[in-house]
Amino acid sequence: AFESELGVQAPVGFWDPAGLSSDGSVENFKRRRATELKHGRIAMLATMGYITPEITGKFPGYLSPSAGLKFADVPNGLAAISKVPQAGWGQILLYMAYCEASQTQEPGTAAYAGDFGWKVLTSSDPAEKTKKLNAELANGRLAMMAIIGMFFQDGLTGSAWGDWANYTASPLRAFESELGVQDPVGFWDPVGFTSDGDVASFKRRRSVELKHGRISMMATMGHWT
């Protein structure tokens, strides 16, 4: 029912592993699409907000003259949360409320579909417009993953860029000099099998990995030859 909607792109196609749209409800689909679009746009801004100060530097002058707080005094990333004065957070929340309440976003309205009248990267060509709308969804999805990754790395390392050298408490450091640790990935254990730091378990898994790798190499050559 939704395979022709925006955001259905190769190579994944229509991707709904949780089956949220399995009931075929158009109303629920449109509500989730509006939410996805809004979150994607916020995530794109947040991602750029993380990266830009690292590249271009910060504004000159004071963020809060009354508190004697300069823009340069505010660190990047999560550490900035505790540095911004309460009045500053109040202004941010008021602006967010204005953005939400300034236009009607009820089902069936243009704003509900993500059209707030600000059209910079649009096109009069239907095919080109569809391409750009698909790109917005794809970039928003990527940005949502990116900003969560940035938060995670920042929380562990204290660095907006996620410098893992700062994460001295990582149990993975016990195996960073082992065979198989290669650029650009480095020590890769996304499931956390080695998080307990158990050397015996690591060596057992390494022997199993090596054996399975050798068998797979022979099987692959046997298939081709």
Binding residues for chlorophyll a: 15, 21, 36, 39, 136, 139, 141, 153
Q: Which residues are annotated as a binding site for chlorophyll b?
A: 41, 100
C-alpha 225/C-alpha 214 separation (Å) is: 16
- 139 CB-near residues (< 8 Å, 6+ apart): 40, 44
Bridge partners (DSSP) listed for residue 13: 9
Name 70's Cβ contacts closer than 8 Å, sequence gap at least 6.
Answer: 61, 62, 63
Handedness of CA 165, 166, 167, 169 (dihedral sign): positive
Adjacent-strand bridge partners of 204: none
- Give the whole-angstrom CA distance, residue 26 versus residue 21: 8
Q: Please state the residue numbers annotated as binding site.
A: 15, 21, 36, 39, 41, 100, 136, 139, 141, 153
